[in-house]
Structure 1
């Protein structure tokens, strides 16, 4: 018998089938390797028959392999087209509806971080779905010749992470482009109602500021801490411009003077003996002292922009001279000040310590349950720390937190913060309801009886300081960007990435929902069942 090239015989006269292949890692390079299979026979005719069949299969597989490969430039082109279309849709949405919400900005910023971690470590981009599943779905959607396990498939996953990062950055950059205008000043048409406002009755800055504050209090727009901050900002504005200045007579040069004062304004002015009694004029000449940070300066300017926006709507001023005024942060400053979500690796580390106490960091009940509630609800620190046992309720088999400001000196950030949040299945599985029953059995009224009220930090002072300044430090993951509030960022990000509707995510974490329908006709809000289903995607 004349043996084909793919049929070999060993020294023990056993026939082997050998089939030449091109390594997936060397597609197009021509570097040969082979597949060798024992046929388990010494009979010539049987070996030949089996080898012919296997050679047919081999040819079919090679043809399929050849058809299922993609060039590197084809992979990049496919990804570029996909994310170009996605970016165009986002731009269209912004053009129609306005700038991105705080939640979406945070989700995109976290998306950049997740993508960068995936690029560096080879991990999945999203916590709830593997990159392999994303790549397979992508290939099916666009009918791409990508075979799982192939070199092209692995290359696609790597490039997909880069493309997703670039997409998030591009959307954020487009949104940021609306931060200001590219002209020097606003021209007010003569004869307009705004121009006529300047000729009306004289209103002092002090009078208008008082009306502004009174309306915000009436509308309960500010929480206790925010109110204190706003009042402090407005007192400084009156000190700079004078309480008796006609608010309609404030000029661009006055506004510039306010900004320049803030740029040289000392930190903790009223706590330092050397600056406490100095006038604004004397402070402006001060040198060699620690000044306000950029983000703090911008919070002052935002307060003033809010005052003048309100004054413009009420026809006290012709225009808002503080509109768009800010101090631009450097990229380094912005990144340093931006809070981030914990990565999945960090969450795993935190959970391991909270549940197993390997470093003996958990000595009190609130040190375990406070962070766990933060992780599984996305609630604010003070919202968690002021929960009463009567706020833990059950309806139709669903246990939930009633987050409210009813009770002993409880307060919320705003009206949207008043909400109900289902208790996550994981909290129930970890024994949270048993912990609550134990407190009730001992006659306690509050979830965390150890906490006392702080004028500035509410009930959250003890947990916040322990978690941020000790717990994270001992775990080796402490940074300026990672704090207790990072649980909130993580909840928002993961809900949006899991496809939860934005307004439903906002209802869970207590952000103001957008749209006329949501604000005026959907007052009853989402059901507990809807929110529970969304939380199960976390």
Structure 2
């Protein structure tokens, strides 16, 4: 006789009935997972009859238990315990390894935004798994009486979204706490308050800045727009600190630079009232539009780059601008954190690109440009300068070879040079057929209608159409949501799906961190590894 799974025979040939207390309970959780009762018989038919009756009773009790659901305070307590453990783990990791990477900060910031949208609309928190599935997994892990479709189940999903939002915010707050120190006693200025002159010839700040710019121009490190921006930043620095040698710059000068930037007018040289004012006169201005915190920090990053270069060349012994930044207010940070399209917005964009409900898609690039952005996370100009010869295949995997070889192509940095598998969805939508049609017509570039702009590369037409018309017509245009949001979305969702950070960086063209990655992993990730990761998107 074949015994049912709930019947067992002891070494004395006595039948026992074993019944799971609840299916989700995992072994080793510290809670009994089953009930074992002796049936007091060695006769198989008797044991089977008794076991069937007991199993019926057990099923009825399980159904009643599940239907009873959970109290509201029990739901919150279970979520609190779960996310407290996750938070403690994150804090421990930061204590051992240091602060979060920019990529992880971005993912958490987007996580807050996605959770807020989920709370407001009932949408799923994560794009790759439904909230129903998350709730079921949670119930199974912690043995909770949550029956799908019950009131308790729906309440749990609502509270889960709130808890996830709070968790992301707590991790970000903990990371931000490392931004400063809090001492009980007044800090005593150290000898490093002032930069010590380095050995070697002395250079004025303006001369050093000019040499810095010339060297980077020769190395072709920046696109023209970025180079012009950096030059403007450095011209302002020389105006704030005129005639000074670079090795004479002190922390006092650093504070003056910050003071000027905090009151610096937007579009100073374009506004009649401000273009001829001196630095001291600018400091006295009131009621004008000022630079955003992000723009101020971009100036400070330029200055940090200059002083880092000067230190390498022994013009200074210390980079006083290293780590210099202006902290955003909570309101500003919240306004700037939504840089990725939400899942609802992504679905709307995708539907319009594929179905053209509003008649906005009139040219091939208006369809394929955003689709490539969505499914690769590539930069706008990287997409717009793709040549047909950059679409390649290796061992059955089609990929984009993103490079700066060809007709006036340009990449942001060395890490931008990479290969990216063509997503399965692009293949299914007929991308290869589109490219083959261009080859048949004798074209060399994927988007032959794009002309080169000195400041914006090949991406000007697509960027303007997408940002200023397409998003506006869809009703989702904001300062934070632009074509580049596809890139943030790719990073956010791959990290949320558990893809290793350096693999994400390899896909989107960010510099990988760590000695192992930079010096011993020069071959990089394989196409198979990247393809598997992209399938998580």
Q: Give the TM-score range, shorter chain.
A: 0.7 to 0.9
Distance 1:300 1:420, change over 3 A: same
Higher mean Cα deviation, 286-295 or 356-365?
286-295
Task: Return the alpha-carbon distance in structure 1 between the equivalents of residues 281 and 190 of structure 2.
Answer: 36
Q: 1:227 to 1:434 in 2, by over 3 A?
A: same
**C-alpha separation between the residues in 2 aligned to 1:253 and 1:88?**
39
User: Alpha-carbon deviations, 1:28-67, whole Å to 9, x = none?
Assistant: xxxxxxxxxxxxxxxxxxxxxxxxx999957862465337
Match of 2:75, SS state, is helix
For 2:309 and 2:95, the matched residues in 1 are separated by: 25
Secondary structure in 2 matching 1:177: helix
| Partner of residue 178, structure 1 | 178
| 1:196–1:345 Cα change, 3 Å | closer
Instruction: Give yes or no for contact 1:419–1:507 (8 Å, CA) kept in 2.
Output: yes
- Superposition pairs of residues 99-118 of structure 1, within 5 angstroms: 99-118=99-118
1:312/1:77 CA distance change after superposition, 3 Å: farther
Matches for 1:102-251 after TM superposition, within 5 Å: 102-182=102-182, 187-188=189-190, 197=197, 202-213=202-213, 216=216, 222-242=222-242, 244-251=243-250
The correspondence of residues 29-428 of structure 1 with structure 2, limited to 5 A, is 57=56, 61-62=60-61, 65-66=64-65, 69-182=69-182, 187-188=189-190, 197=197, 202-213=202-213, 216=216, 222-242=222-242, 244-312=243-311, 315-317=314-316, 319-428=318-427
TM-aligned CA distance change 1:196 to 1:179, over 3 Å: closer
Contact 1:393 1:401 survives alignment (8 Å):
yes
The 5 A counterparts of 1:6-21 are none
Distance in 1 separating the partners of 2:188 and 2:381: 42
Distance, in Å, in 1 between the alignment partners of 2:445 and 2:188 is 54
Of the structure 1 ranges 329-338 and 422-431, higher mean CA displacement relative to structure 2 is found in 329-338
Give the CA RMSD over aligned residues.
2.9
User: Does the 8 Å contact 1:492/1:505 carry over to 2?
Assistant: yes
**Change over 3 Å in CA distance of 1:126–1:347 after alignment to 2:** same
SS class of match (1:500):
coil
Is the radius of gyration larger for structure 1 or structure 2?
A: 1
CA pair 362-66 structure 1, distance change in 2 beyond 3 A: closer
Evaluate the alpha carbon distance shift between residue 200 and residue 373 of structure 1 in structure 2; reply closer, same or farther with a 3 A threshold.
Answer: closer
Q: CA deviation at 1:355?
A: 1.5
Q: CA shift at 1:228, angstroms? A: 2.3
How far did residue 178 of structure 1 move?
A: 2.0
Structure 1 residue 371: Cα displacement: 0.6
**TM-score of the two chains, using structure 2 as the length reference:** 0.82
Aligned pair count reads 483
Q: Cα 1:291–1:60, aligned 2, differ >3 Å: closer, same or farther?
A: closer
Note the alpha carbon deviations across 1:109-150, whole angstroms, 9 max, x for none.
111122122222333221111222222222333344444444
Cα distance, 1:279 vs. partner?
3.5
Gaps of 5+ in 1: 1-52
Q: 1:180–1:324: 8 Å Cα contact kept in structure 2?
A: no
CA 1:464–1:63 in structure 2 vs 1: closer, same or farther (change >3 Å)?
closer
CA distances 1:484-527 after superposition (whole Å, capped 9, x unpaired): 11111111111112222211111111111122111111111111
Q: Distance in 2 between matches of 1:56 and 1:533?
A: 44
Determine if contact 1:188/1:195 at 8 Å carries over to the other structure: no
SS across alignment from 2:178: coil
Question: SS of 1:129's equivalent?
Answer: coil
**Are the equivalent residues in 1 in contact too, given 2:451–2:458 (CA < 8 A)?**
yes
**Aligned partners of 2:525, 2:285: CA distance in 1, in Å?**
54
2:12 — aligned with what?
none
Q: Deviations over 1:401-423 (max 9, x none)?
A: 11111122211111111111111
Q: Distance in 1 between matches of 2:486 and 2:197?
A: 47
TM-score, structure 1 length as denominator?
A: 0.82
Query: Are the aligned partners of 2:195 and 2:249 in contact in 1 as well (CA < 8 Å)?
Result: no
- CA–CA distance in 2 between the matches of 1:389 and 1:330? 46
How far off its partner does 1:361 sit? 0.8
